[in-house]
Structure 1
């Protein structure tokens, strides 16, 4: 049985995509392709199927994912959803692979400076609905971290309200 990766493993950077494969040994290994600007995030599929994924980071060429290196951790936004091959769906969040399966488990993710992050979130929230990606953009933070912080402020402190149905992922002050 194939073994899924639970973390990504940085194997370096190259200037051409063709040079990445030899550096990756196991599921979750990744190499950045950088030619003056980040071009792609090449990774061995963390599902263990053996395939190599190339995630575009260069918005000049096509739909692009956002790459974050914050607090010495790497995140990619939005999620990666393979519609071919193993059809895996996952999030890369603070070096952890969060599987978007039947049961969401982000317990391995460590959000550093969480008190400061919640304080920053509250500093930009108002009585108007804001999507967590808008909050992340305003704060120059990782969207996954902001969604987590907002959810914590809803559940633990009743300091924010989350929208329902079409407003899910939107937050405001009560």
Structure 2
């Protein structure tokens, strides 16, 4: 596992010990960032169910200014901190050991807004829709923000989850990436803009 491009291109990352995490593959990660294009400088990122911190670190390598890493597993938190130390990104990161639901509530109560939110919860636990609902309820997505969800291809996510609108999805074998944007304004500019 490595950083694909940006200022830290080629940096090697470690994975948490054990079988509880399933890191996003380099192939899928590269596809995600090809779709997103240039990452806005100064953007804030939330990496939920962060595992190794692989995706959040990629955002930082490509120009994001801050990333919040959330995971409830002790080994994952250790790996995230080690990877941030290896890449010298610790000053641009906040790492919290917490379940996603509580972390989202905490961030919402602080009025923190994100330009990019990535979530890749454990498969077979049906966490995607409840997590997206919580994100919309707590209103932590910027008006022009994008949510990237990684999930099993057998799961078809709804077009709308509260005010979140599914803009696009791509399948890569057994993995699908779905993209949600802020559809609160319910007009053409908010729904038809390019990802």
Fold conserved (TM > 0.5)? no
Larger proportion of helix: 2
- RCO (CA 8 Å, sep 6+): is it higher in 1 or 2? 2
| TM category, shorter | under 0.3
Bigger radius of gyration, 1 or 2?
Answer: 1
TM-score (norm 2): 0.25
TM-score (norm 1): 0.27
